[in-house]
Chain A
Amino acid sequence: MLGWVNTVAQGIMLGGLYGLFAIGLSLMFGVMRIVNIAHGDLIVLAVFGAIAATTMADLPLWAAVILVLAGMFVLGYVLQRGVLNRTLAGGELPPLLVTFGISIVIQNLLLEIFSADPRSLSAGGIETQSVNIAGVLAIGVLPLGTLAAAVLITAALQWLFGRTDIGRAFRATSDDPETAQLMGIRTAHVYGLATAIALTVVAIAGILLAVRTTVAPSDGPNNLIYAFESVIIGGLGSFWGTLAGGMILGVSQAIGFRVSPGWGAFAGHVVFLAILAFRPQGFFPKTHTGSA
């Protein structure tokens, strides 16, 4: 019994990481209706940016983190304004094809530069520390910190969208870009900021992932799929829903893995497909009329 409690607890914390993966995807879809297929590879790009900064440039971890967060923010803005904004006029196919192309290019560039070897980030021992709960349940400090970060970032984005000027601009542009533009909102700039914020969260997720486990250049697609499943399970249009979706996915995978190590990811996919079959709008959609 205690073993299962532990499995669920680990799954919830893993779900915090998936929630962090998913927030950027959810944000870009929410504001621009872009499904960014390169999302998972951008997570891996952030990881290798941090690894290059700490090993090749010999920077301390905190400096590398700041550098990568700032770098991904700028990359997001430039990517949106320089590339993605230009694909928005031609329907839904062009942004998908362009982000798919970006995904393959990033993945293979990282493979050529860093080889196929999996690597990780060292964070001075925090990755192995744990706390005991009631003397029976050992909870890792890093997974707990990741979950806390996911909750904080979700709350911060919810506040940003609900209570600030830029959040109002995001919502207005999302609802009706033309009218927003008539009201004096520079949509191209707003889109740039949305992607910049999305990729900053991607960078945080990537760094936490790389401290937790090893990452290889070919890991992008799996990251994308877990992020996507979290978004759909949670329901479109709500950051809290996305985080909850990540937790449901994390718990499903943890239970599947406990049954048999080969079936962890598979169990997650099965739960995702079951939700598609029986509750396609997800568990916590913001609008009940909207389709998935």
Chain B
Amino acid sequence: MSTASFIVTRTTRASRWGAAMGIVLLAAAATLPQWSDAATMRLLTEFACLLVLAQMWNLLAGYGGLMSVGQQGYLGIGGYALFALADYGGVNPFLCVLLGGLIAAAASVPTAKLVFRLQGGHFAIGTWVVAEVFRLAVSNSAALGGGSGRSLQAMREIPRSVREPVTYWIALAIAAASLIGVYLLMRSRFGLALAALRDSEGAAESQGVNVKRTKFWVYLVSAFGCGVAGALYFLGTLRISPDAAFNVGWSAAIIFIVVIGGIGTIEGPIIGTIVYFLLRETLSDYGTWYLIALGVVAIVAMMKYPKGVWGTVAERFDLYLFPVQRRVEPR
């Protein structure tokens, strides 16, 4: 076969349509504060947080093969960074969302050194221990409000009519940035290296992939994203406590979202987040039953449909909105 007899394509018709629709949807969503109410904005801000968290966990586990149960550690650090910087440092609270991500990323550097000494399931629980260490350290710190937490004082000077739409627009921007960011990352050389080491560390290393460095960077990027999402979430709630910020329930939600939606795809976490919110809002009168339902669905999905909703659809209908793979087609 000569090289001229086939071509490598990276976009699909669905992905071009998807991009166009995405831009229209984003533009429409940006006008929401003009015609909708505060409750909708709050719900969509929370939606954006979970979507970003799910993308970050998916980047780590679905693309990098690193199963973490401790991303709530970085979410909590991002949230607390917002409160500390805005209330003690006098930094603009909206700017703190980005800084929260940077501080979480900084915290992930020494953590990575330790947890990467563990493999597989031991790595998973190791990340959880680190999140617990963060929680206990904050709980015992009086300046951060101790075990009962604290409210965001810096926001008192900013009127509600500014705070609510700006928080919402930041949420929208971050959600879009996380989708585009993961998409571009996975199409780069780095993404290729990441997917290779997930499938086989030994084979990837023999092809020249620096396994250690690639894992370290994906862990750092994921911590940054979780920190941003955490700061954003608590910017919306204006109150933080160690039990809310460092709760393993965050991991439960994002893992179920990714597994149900489709692990190792960018579309999966979007679908999963929609399923999560539909179930939660429908079963909101029945305590934690939505979590039990999600857990059961995730277990069944993992055993019968390990590719989740999107993976199953994509395989069946050859549909890729965010194609990160290369396709070889006859000319």
- Which among A83, A100, A105, A232 is the interface contact of B69 at CB below 8 angstroms? A100
Q: State the Cβ distance, A256 to closest chain B Cβ, in Å.
A: 10
Q: How far is the CA of A102 from the CA of B256 in the complex (A)?
A: 12
Q: B67 contacts which chain A residues (CB < 8 A)? A: 92-93, 96-97
* Known contacts A87-B302, A96-B124, A225-B129: A108-B288 contact under CB 8 Å: yes
- Which among A109, A111, A292 is the interface contact of B119 at CB below 8 angstroms? A292
Q: Which residue of B lies closest to A93 (CB)?
A: B67
Contact string, A22-41, partner B, CB cutoff 8 A, digits 1/0?
Answer: 00000001000111010000
- Does B158 sit at the interface, judged by CB under 8 A? no
> Quick check: B137 and A228 within 8 Å, CB to CB?
no
* Known contacts A112-B288, A276-B126: A270-B133 contact under CB 8 Å: yes
Q: How far is the CA of A83 from the CA of B298 in the complex (A)?
A: 13
- Does B118 sit at the interface, judged by CB under 8 A? yes
- Does B236 sit at the interface, judged by CB under 8 A? no
Q: State the Cβ distance, A253 to closest chain B Cβ, in Å.
A: 12
Q: Which residue of A lies closest to B303 (CB)?
A: A86
> Quick check: A111 and B288 within 8 Å, CB to CB?
yes
- Does B61 sit at the interface, judged by CB under 8 A? yes
Q: Which residue of A lies closest to B115 (CB)?
A: A276
- Does A62 sit at the interface, judged by CB under 8 A? no
Most chain A beta-carbon contacts within 10 A, residue among B115, B121, B255, B287: B121
* Known contacts A100-B252, A112-B292: A276-B133 contact under CB 8 Å: no
> Quick check: A100 and B129 within 8 Å, CB to CB?
no
> Quick check: B248 and A221 within 8 Å, CB to CB?
yes
Q: How far is the CA of A97 from the CA of B132 in the complex (A)?
A: 20
Q: B294 contacts which chain A residues (CB < 8 A)? A: 104
Within 8 A of B (CB), among A258-291: 262-263, 265-266, 269-270, 272-273, 276-277, 280, 291
Q: How far is the CA of A49 from the CA of B71 in the complex (A)?
A: 32
Q: How far is the CA of A251 from the CA of B316 in the complex (A)?
A: 56
Contact string, B118-134, partner A, CB cutoff 8 A, digits 1/0?
Answer: 11111011101110110
- Does A90 sit at the interface, judged by CB under 8 A? yes
- Which among A83, A96, A111, A272 is the interface contact of B303 at CB below 8 angstroms? A83
* Known contacts A93-B61, A266-B133, A273-B114: A101-B256 contact under CB 8 Å: yes
- Does B139 sit at the interface, judged by CB under 8 A? yes
Q: Which residue of A lies closest to B300 (CB)?
A: A101
- Does B306 sit at the interface, judged by CB under 8 A? yes
Q: State the Cβ distance, A224 to closest chain B Cβ, in Å.
A: 7
> Quick check: A269 and B296 within 8 Å, CB to CB?
no
Contact string, B238-261, partner A, CB cutoff 8 A, digits 1/0?
Answer: 000000000010011001100100
Within 8 A of B (CB), among A61-97: 83, 86-87, 90, 92-97
- Does A153 sit at the interface, judged by CB under 8 A? no
Q: How far is the CA of A109 from the CA of B290 in the complex (A)?
A: 11
Q: A104 contacts which chain B residues (CB < 8 A)? A: 252, 256, 291-292, 294-295
Q: State the Cβ distance, B165 to closest chain A Cβ, in Å.
A: 35
Q: B299 contacts which chain A residues (CB < 8 A)? A: 83, 98, 101-102, 105
Q: B132 contacts which chain A residues (CB < 8 A)? A: 225, 265, 269
Within 8 A of A (CB), among B55-113: 61, 65, 67, 69, 113
Q: State the Cβ distance, B38 to closest chain A Cβ, in Å.
A: 30
- Does B6 sit at the interface, judged by CB under 8 A? no
Q: How far is the CA of A117 from the CA of B114 in the complex (A)?
A: 36
> Quick check: A266 and B65 within 8 Å, CB to CB?
no
Q: Which residue of B lies closest to A225 (CB)?
A: B129
- Does B188 sit at the interface, judged by CB under 8 A? no
Q: How far is the CA of A86 from the CA of B124 in the complex (A)?
A: 21
- Does B314 sit at the interface, judged by CB under 8 A? no
Q: B292 contacts which chain A residues (CB < 8 A)? A: 104-105, 108-109, 112
> Quick check: B118 and A276 within 8 Å, CB to CB?
yes
Q: State the Cβ distance, A246 to closest chain B Cβ, in Å.
A: 15
Q: B259 contacts which chain A residues (CB < 8 A)? A: 97, 101
Within 8 A of A (CB), among B260-317: 263, 287-289, 291-292, 294-296, 298-299, 302-303, 306
> Quick check: A269 and B124 within 8 Å, CB to CB?
no
> Quick check: B129 and A228 within 8 Å, CB to CB?
yes
- Which among A86, A100, A228, A272 is the interface contact of B255 at CB below 8 angstroms? A100
Q: How far is the CA of A108 from the CA of B292 in the complex (A)?
A: 6
> Quick check: A87 and B129 within 8 Å, CB to CB?
no
- Does B117 sit at the interface, judged by CB under 8 A? yes
- Does B237 sit at the interface, judged by CB under 8 A? no
Q: State the Cβ distance, B307 to closest chain A Cβ, in Å.
A: 11
- Which among A37, A262, A276 is the interface contact of B124 at CB below 8 angstroms? A37
- Which among B69, B117, B130 is the interface contact of A292 at CB below 8 angstroms? B117
Give me 8 A-to-B residue pairs in the complex whose CB atoms sit less than 8 angstroms apart, sorted by A's number.
A104-B291, A262-B139, A266-B140, A273-B133, A276-B114, A291-B117, A291-B119, A292-B117
Would you list the 8 A-B pairs with minimal beta carbon distance, nearest first? Answer: A35-B121, A105-B295, A101-B299, A280-B117, A108-B288, A92-B120, A266-B136, A104-B295
Residue positions of A touching B, CB distance < 8 A: 29, 33-35, 37, 83, 86-87, 90, 92-98, 100-102, 104-105, 108-109, 111-112, 221, 224-225, 228-229, 232, 262-263, 265-266, 269-270, 272-273, 276-277, 280, 291-292
Residue positions of B touching A, CB distance < 8 A: 61, 65, 67, 69, 113-115, 117-122, 124-126, 128-130, 132-133, 136-137, 139-140, 248, 251-252, 255-256, 259, 263, 287-289, 291-292, 294-296, 298-299, 302-303, 306
A93-B67, A108-B288, A262-B136 given; 15 more Cβ-contact pairs under 8 Å: A37-B124, A90-B306, A92-B67, A92-B121, A93-B61, A93-B263, A102-B295, A105-B292, A108-B295, A265-B132, A276-B117, A276-B118, A277-B114, A280-B117, A280-B118
